[in-house]
Structure 1
Amino acid sequence: MKTTHVLSVLLMTSCMSSTQAEVIFYDGFESNTASGWNIAGNVATSGTQAIGNYALRLKQTASAWHTVSTQGYSAVTVQLRMAATALEANDNDRCIAELSSDGGQNWSSLIELTDGMDDASFHTASLSSAALEDNPNLQIRFRSQADDLGDYCWADEVQVTGTAGGLTPAPDIAVSGSLSFGSVALNSTSSSTLTVSNNGNADLLIGTISYPTSPFNVLADNCQQSTLVANQQCQIQVQFAPTQAGAVSDQLLINSNDGDQPVVSLAASGTGSQNPGGVDDFDPLSGNGNVSRSDLSFTTLSSGADPGSLVNFSAYALPANAAAPTNTFEGRLVLTNEATRGGFNEVKDSFRYTGSGDTTRKHLPEFDYHFVQTGSHLVPVERGMLANSHPEWEYILEPGRVWNENADNGYTRAALPFSLQQKNANCMHNGVMTFAFKDDGSITQVAYQIASETCLYFKADMWGLLGATYTPTPVANAQNIKLAHQAEVNARIPVKPISDLAVDYPGTQVANFSSSISSQHMTLYGLYIDGTHYLGGCQTRQGAYPYCEVLRVPSYSTAKSNFAGVAMMRLEQKYGNVMNQSIAGFIGACNSNGNWQDVSLENAVDMATGNYNLSGYMSDEGATHTNDLFLTEDHASKINYACGEYSRKATPGSTWVYHTSDTYIAGTVMQAMVKQQQGSSADIFADILRDELWKPLNVGQSSLATRRTYDSVAQPFAGWGLSYNADDTVKLARFLSIDNGMLNGQQMLDSNELNAALQRNSNDRGLTPTSGFKYKNGFWAKDMSADTGCSDLYVPFMSGYGGISIVLLPNDSIYYYFSDNDEFGWADAALESHNIRSFCP
């Protein structure tokens, strides 16, 4: 027998009525309709079970929700009733009534009915809370979570009451206006006024206001340290006065006593322009075009044969004296002869992919993509991981640059960074393309070169010249694509070279941030501290990679943290009681196996399911795992292997065994959960991680994708398959360790579980994979007590195959490196950060 779960709810058995309050909303479904309700799944009105003649019936997996405005009302109370029939315990069936006061971001359960409470009796709940008052977006939802056709949930007598006026006194800050200045001529100015209002019914106390720095300037401010009564306003006037060409960004922070939004952050951005009257002058160039080059000359691009060897990547870079582009690229770029032309040099091939003969792996995939130009930037229309028919490779295209050189005969030169990602895998091979074009569609050949990667088992150089066609044509939604790219560039964290750490923090031994990893195998590394991103690496076998800011690196198992762990904590915060849900209740393949009924989602994320063959580290991740989990392309094959390969050896939650298959199971469970909550089209990555977390964090567009199965299911892998650039790596880590899982003052991740994952709760450290390490909610941690002299100090980190670490340091700094020689060593870097600012409390 199970009992009802109630959160801050008064259970009542008497008939619902309100003699003192006004009815704001009521629905007893007596009209035999569900008018105004949003419906997903099998939902209808029915008289089979009802308080009066009709109630709302939910069958199997379904939901119905309604939005109610309580603006102008205080003492708001929500009352509702729910019943259930034919629920089964072994299927984890349940009927749920819940409430959201923040527009559906987070839900509180009022009633949860399970097996033993399914006798068709109506249970009643009532909730009163200050969060319900004066709320324009209160949402009420009923959900059924069941498998069989005979499982039913019944909802009835939904009532919202309140008292007009008499609101609980509270300030409510609102800010109108924008600090996005666009293009402004050098040595000119543009100003904008922000209006700060108190939309609440108590005094708004505005404290300190942090101003953006030059070239932004606050001209007037009658808001700081002021008090605004209800409906009162004040103004802040900000000026943008650029003296140098290029895009700049900063922020203005307003502190107040608004309990819901104590800090308001407003982004300030603008571009200093040589030619502000031009059609599009984003990130303008000021050189005269007098560029001297020995490699990839206009003659080579126009009429040369395949170059016989690699060149230094400086030939693909934006030169220091580049002039503003005089031609504009918008349309379709198609390459020819990819399958037959080009050079190839094998550096490492552990699995003997290639031999002395020609193979498809030695050539680029077919290339047929659209681009738009904004100022001196060339932006791919198609972003993320681009599936194609090539058997080994897929493209990830990055924004590049366009410029003029005097020797290019009136053509404009372009460079496009790109990566080849191995199909169904996560290795990244980084390259650049370059060509010259005119507005009329004239185009040279396209030179390309790959001379670096992040890949333990396959390293190779590729280069060549390919024929190309450029078809100028308007691109749908071009303006929004340009604006999105400009916003992405402006939102990047300020960057300095890693060597500047010794300047900004005297005495820092910068070498300690890279000395543990072989330099020839280091892709990139960096330290984020005090708002600045100190970036190192980006070296290739042919000099420095010229577009380090968009260099793409793989996630591998850091996705077990950034995807599986974060998604679970988001669902726990949003819906509650998801981590303890049974695997078998959501995955048929696991349910039929028999070893998963007592295994929870949290067990799977912790890789502590109790189901394994060999308990030694990585012992179960051999050839069978590779062939049946990683290399299969459809979801059914992957999940059948993950659920069926291992036998029960230990109690769930007691023994840590490294299994990527467990994380794949966790991702599958969470996909089922979010579909159950939000409808059949919902997606755990797109709707939860991407839209609710990563987009608000201003993660770059190419990172807003994940590897998926190549079938109609399109199941995201969860345990591998993401990709990052350096800026995105820092933003995702900063959100967790420095911002504590909060966005714009709102808690987005379950704080208890996040604190446990980050080793901030000594009573909930997780399991011990090996001496000196912990693993909790998909995150690793290393005991650094003896190293630092700090008491009981575990430092959390993410780890990825081949030599990848993202370390969430306890002094509000972040260290990361991406390498590919199976070298895992970040203690020296952590201790150097500890020397900058102590880890000890």
Structure 2
Amino acid sequence: MKTLIILISTVVLVNSCRNNPKEWGGPVLVHPRDQLTVEQLLGDSSLAFIDMSYFAEPDWSVPASTGFSGTILLEDTRINFFKQKAYYPGENLFPKLQLDFITHQGVLIPLRKDRIITRFQSDSYWDVVVGAGKVWHEPEDGEWNRASFPLTLTDRWVGQARNCVAAFVFKPDTISNICLQCSQETADIDDMQLGDINGMLPAGFEPKRYVDSAQIVERHKSSVAGRIPVHPLSEIDEDNMIARHFDRMIHSNAPTSLGAVFMNNKLYLHPPSTRHGLYPYPDEMRHGLYSVTKSLAGALALMYLEERYEEDVFGALITDYVPALATHAGWQGVTFSHTLNMVTGTAGGEDAERLYSTLIVAETAEEAIRNIAGLGDAPEPPGRKFNYASTNLFVLSYAMQKFVEKKEGRNVNYWDLVHDHVLVPIGAEHFTVLHTLEKDEESAMPVLAYGALPTIDEAVKIALLFANYGKHGEKQILHENRVKEVFGQTPWKGYSTDNDYRGTGYRHAFWSKEIKTKTRQGNIMVTFMLGFGENYIVFLSDNTVIFRFLDEHDLDIDELIRDVVTLKSPVP
């Protein structure tokens, strides 16, 4: 059935999304502009899809004649979502929410950069993450100034990311409608989730002055200054040996949301493509990485707890911390490490039907754990046989929460500790992961199986923390030996996957396999994070890391790895 779905999607997407920069025939921004005009933004009609350059600040702009400070008010608004199947409830509805912004030196700064939960005030399917944008003036606009900002729509169940840009014009006390366009995503192609979104959002505006605006500006400036410098991939890839992998068409046009290589202490980024040209805010672009979350967040959290408490947290028993599993025969003897390594000896499975009914549709942590407790046992005892199951990572998340509560009290959330003591120090404080849907948001628990939404900067910083064996600067943040185990640098060699198609080895939520290179190195063993849709973060020697964020099932990453190795160590 999956094959049929992909074939259908291929036909529909290639016919409806002829928007790769090399094939997208729409015009780019011209002077004077002929799209997103003041008249269009003051009207209430939806616009056709346009090149993303129309949402960016043009070369002929001048500074905005006034700053922007206040609250944008949005109501539930129907949007156009061009997908291949019926809408889920609220999927074609932009959510009711308030967005607060201030400006500084032409930058439009959102007061809130974390995930905005909308389910309590909206019927929409979507939560929202907002990034920093721009304000400017174009002489032809008269009294109006312009603004645009990046915006990510994400669901509450699996963590897809739809990369959008919003644009409007404004005066000191009023704004136009907001034009929204989403032309790229990391989503589920098997569920026919790929497709463009646009709409005209009626917007209200309340001018405000914020007493802490100076601190907000300083925090933003500090965050930007702390980003890893970005260089064009073309600086090291003059012959497009690497870029060709990121430009390759698979099922739709522009399938790769982002491709980058960290090498020689620099990040080399290929311009992020959408189906309507280049995304104008690549630094703010968020990506739904699905099972990369298991390593990017799950391994991160457990290795931090082992370092924090200076004890064998990996060896703690699940049954001591998850009451619903305490008498479950299959979970006897299962450790935290077994869950992270997919060797619990329990029946979890990764088939879509079981995963959906057990974990995805469960709203609360207790409901999810009860569902998992209803799953059966497997013949093998814990620690023997690799059996990939996302349910294991939620069990681990639940167990880590109860472990921390036992250590520090019921009001302490383990992910808050990870945020404050891992993410903030490395400069990834806005890294967001999917949580359960509790009535009390404070008690929501990370799913850990999927749902991470990093920017490239956050992904690189977390990857480098692992590459540096858990050390940031002079401080050891993650347990050093456990991180070394990830990379096979201790006597413990992890678990065989019995030649799973994704990789041959599995160590603490990281895959590994042997790659034949084109250099004198011959065969090398590579370690990588991998998520649904074939999102990859690949670790090579000398702190070289490959990032490829994709949603179209391309497991053939070996040639890309070989070409990066050749770029690092060219054959003489």
**TM-score between both structures, scaled by the size of structure 1:** 0.60
Instruction: Say if 1:761 and 1:768 are closer, same or farther in 2 by CA, change over 3 A.
Output: farther
Query: Does 1:546 pair with 2:280?
Result: yes
Which residue, out of 266, 270, 283, partners 1:536? 270
What SS does structure 1 have at the residue aligned with 2:331?
coil
- In the alignment, is the contact (CA less than 8 A) between 1:643 and 1:665 conserved in 2? no
Q: Matched residues in 2 for 1:626 and 1:789: separation? A: 46
The aligned length equals: 529
Q: Which amino acid aligns with 2:551?
A: D
- In the alignment, is the contact (CA less than 8 A) between 2:93 and 2:124 conserved in 1? no
Query: What are the equivalent positions in structure 2 for 1:676-715 lying under 5 Å apart?
Result: 676-688=406-418, 690-699=419-428, 701=430, 703-712=431-440, 713-715=443-445
1:27-66 deviation line (CA, Å, top 9, x unaligned)? xxxxxxxxxxxxxxxxxxxxxxxxxxxxxxxxxxxxxxxx
Query: What are the equivalent positions in structure 2 for 1:699-738 lying under 5 Å apart?
Result: 699=428, 701=430, 703-712=431-440, 713-737=443-467
Query: Does 1:330 pair with 2:69?
Result: yes
Q: Matched residues in 2 for 1:479 and 1:838: separation? A: 48
Which residue, out of 373, 378, 383, partners 1:653? 383
Instruction: Say if 1:432 and 1:466 are closer, same or farther in 2 by CA, change over 3 A.
Output: same
Which residue, out of 158, 168, 171, partners 1:435? 168
For the aligned residues, what is the CA RMSD?
2.3
User: How far does residue 639 in structure 1 lie from its aligned partner after superposition?
Assistant: 0.9
Q: Matched residues in 2 for 1:392 and 1:723: separation? A: 17
Correspondence for 1:633:
363
What SS does structure 2 have at the residue aligned with 1:806?
strand
Correspondence for 2:301:
567
What SS does structure 2 have at the residue aligned with 1:419?
strand
User: How far does residue 629 in structure 1 lie from its aligned partner after superposition?
Assistant: 0.6
User: How far does residue 698 in structure 1 lie from its aligned partner after superposition?
Assistant: 1.0
Query: What are the equivalent positions in structure 2 for 1:413-492 lying under 5 Å apart?
Result: 413-439=146-172, 441-456=173-188, 457=191, 458-492=193-227
Q: Which amino acid aligns with 2:490?
A: N
Query: What are the equivalent positions in structure 2 for 1:265-344 lying under 5 Å apart?
Result: 292-302=32-42, 304-336=43-75, 338-340=76-78, 342-344=79-81
Q: Which amino acid aligns with 1:339?
A: T
Q: Matched residues in 1 for 2:570 and 2:125: separation? A: 45
- In the alignment, is the contact (CA less than 8 A) between 1:517 and 1:823 conserved in 2? no
Correspondence for 2:25:
none
User: How far does residue 677 in structure 1 lie from its aligned partner after superposition?
Assistant: 2.1
Instruction: Say if 1:757 and 1:791 are closer, same or farther in 2 by CA, change over 3 A.
Output: farther
Instruction: Say if 1:584 and 1:763 are closer, same or farther in 2 by CA, change over 3 A.
Output: closer
User: How far does residue 561 in structure 1 lie from its aligned partner after superposition?
Assistant: 0.5
Correspondence for 1:760:
489
**TM-score between both structures, scaled by the size of structure 2:** 0.87
Q: Matched residues in 2 for 1:830 and 1:839: separation? A: 13
Q: Matched residues in 2 for 1:742 and 1:671: separation? A: 24
Q: Which amino acid aligns with 1:546?
A: P
User: How far does residue 792 in structure 1 lie from its aligned partner after superposition?
Assistant: 7.2
Query: What are the equivalent positions in structure 2 for 1:763-782 lying under 5 Å apart?
Result: 763-770=492-499, 773-782=504-513
Q: Matched residues in 2 for 1:514 and 1:831: separation? A: 14
Which residue, out of 272, 291, 302, partners 1:557? 291
User: How far does residue 418 in structure 1 lie from its aligned partner after superposition?
Assistant: 0.4
Which residue, out of 524, 547, 566, partners 1:816? 547
User: How far does residue 517 in structure 1 lie from its aligned partner after superposition?
Assistant: 6.4
Q: Matched residues in 1 for 2:517 and 2:233: separation? A: 27
User: How far does residue 470 in structure 1 lie from its aligned partner after superposition?
Assistant: 1.2
Instruction: Say if 1:472 and 1:797 are closer, same or farther in 2 by CA, change over 3 A.
Output: same
Which residue, out of 237, 250, 256, partners 1:502? 237
Instruction: Say if 1:408 and 1:786 are closer, same or farther in 2 by CA, change over 3 A.
Output: closer
Instruction: Say if 1:468 and 1:453 are closer, same or farther in 2 by CA, change over 3 A.
Output: same
What SS does structure 2 have at the residue aligned with 1:554?
coil
User: How far does residue 827 in structure 1 lie from its aligned partner after superposition?
Assistant: 1.5
Q: Which amino acid aligns with 2:340?
A: V
Q: Matched residues in 1 for 2:341 and 2:439: separation? A: 28
Q: Which amino acid aligns with 2:81?
A: F
What SS does structure 1 have at the residue aligned with 2:306?
helix
- Greater relative contact order (Cα < 8 A, sep 6+): 2
- In the alignment, is the contact (CA less than 8 A) between 2:511 and 2:528 conserved in 1? yes
Q: Where do 5+ consecutive residues of structure 2 fail to align?
A: 1-29
Correspondence for 1:93:
none
Instruction: Say if 1:789 and 1:761 are closer, same or farther in 2 by CA, change over 3 A.
Output: farther
Bigger share in strand? 1
Q: Which amino acid aligns with 2:487?
A: L
Q: Which amino acid aligns with 2:532?
A: Y
Q: Which amino acid aligns with 1:525?
A: G
Correspondence for 2:106:
376
Correspondence for 2:556:
825
What percent of counterpart residues are identical?
A: 23
Correspondence for 1:799:
530
Q: Which amino acid aligns with 1:449?
A: Q
Query: What are the equivalent positions in structure 2 for 1:153-168 lying under 5 Å apart?
Result: none
- In the alignment, is the contact (CA less than 8 A) between 2:496 and 2:506 conserved in 1? yes
Q: Which amino acid aligns with 1:446?
A: I
What SS does structure 2 have at the residue aligned with 1:502?
coil
Bigger share in helix? 2
- In the alignment, is the contact (CA less than 8 A) between 1:452 and 1:540 conserved in 2? yes
User: How far does residue 429 in structure 1 lie from its aligned partner after superposition?
Assistant: 1.0
- In the alignment, is the contact (CA less than 8 A) between 1:512 and 1:829 conserved in 2? no
Q: Matched residues in 1 for 2:169 and 2:247: separation? A: 40
- In the alignment, is the contact (CA less than 8 A) between 1:811 and 1:839 conserved in 2? no
What SS does structure 2 have at the residue aligned with 1:565?
helix
- In the alignment, is the contact (CA less than 8 A) between 1:385 and 1:396 conserved in 2? yes
What SS does structure 1 have at the residue aligned with 2:237?
helix
Q: Matched residues in 2 for 1:838 and 1:682: separation? A: 48
Correspondence for 2:137:
404
User: How far does residue 512 in structure 1 lie from its aligned partner after superposition?
Assistant: 5.1
- In the alignment, is the contact (CA less than 8 A) between 1:667 and 1:717 conserved in 2? yes
1:490-548 deviation line (CA, Å, top 9, x unaligned)? 11211122222135xxx772345436763531111100111221111421121111111
Q: Which moved more, 1:764-773 or 1:491-500?
A: 764-773
1:413-440 deviation line (CA, Å, top 9, x unaligned)? 110210110122211111111111122x
What SS does structure 2 have at the residue aligned with 1:611?
coil
Instruction: Say if 1:620 and 1:433 are closer, same or farther in 2 by CA, change over 3 A.
Output: closer
- In the alignment, is the contact (CA less than 8 A) between 1:514 and 1:829 conserved in 2? no
- In the alignment, is the contact (CA less than 8 A) between 2:315 and 2:336 conserved in 1? yes
1:548-587 deviation line (CA, Å, top 9, x unaligned)? 1111101211111011112111212221111111100001
Q: Where do 5+ consecutive residues of structure 1 fail to align?
A: 1-289, 614-618
1:177-204 deviation line (CA, Å, top 9, x unaligned)? xxxxxxxxxxxxxxxxxxxxxxxxxxxx
Correspondence for 2:322:
587
Query: Does 1:526 pair with 2:260?
Result: yes
What SS does structure 1 have at the residue aligned with 2:135?
strand
- In the alignment, is the contact (CA less than 8 A) between 2:518 and 2:566 conserved in 1? no
What SS does structure 1 have at the residue aligned with 2:327?
helix
Q: Matched residues in 2 for 1:678 and 1:629: separation? A: 28
What SS does structure 2 have at the residue aligned with 1:361?
coil
Instruction: Say if 1:769 and 1:366 are closer, same or farther in 2 by CA, change over 3 A.
Output: farther
Report runs of 4+ in structure 1 exceeding 6 Å deviation. none
What SS does structure 2 have at the residue aligned with 1:451?
strand
What SS does structure 2 have at the residue aligned with 1:696?
helix
Tell me which structure has the larger Cα radius of gyration.
1
- In the alignment, is the contact (CA less than 8 A) between 1:385 and 1:706 conserved in 2? no
Q: Matched residues in 2 for 1:308 and 1:692: separation? A: 45
User: How far does residue 387 in structure 1 lie from its aligned partner after superposition?
Assistant: 1.2
Q: Which amino acid aligns with 1:595?
A: G
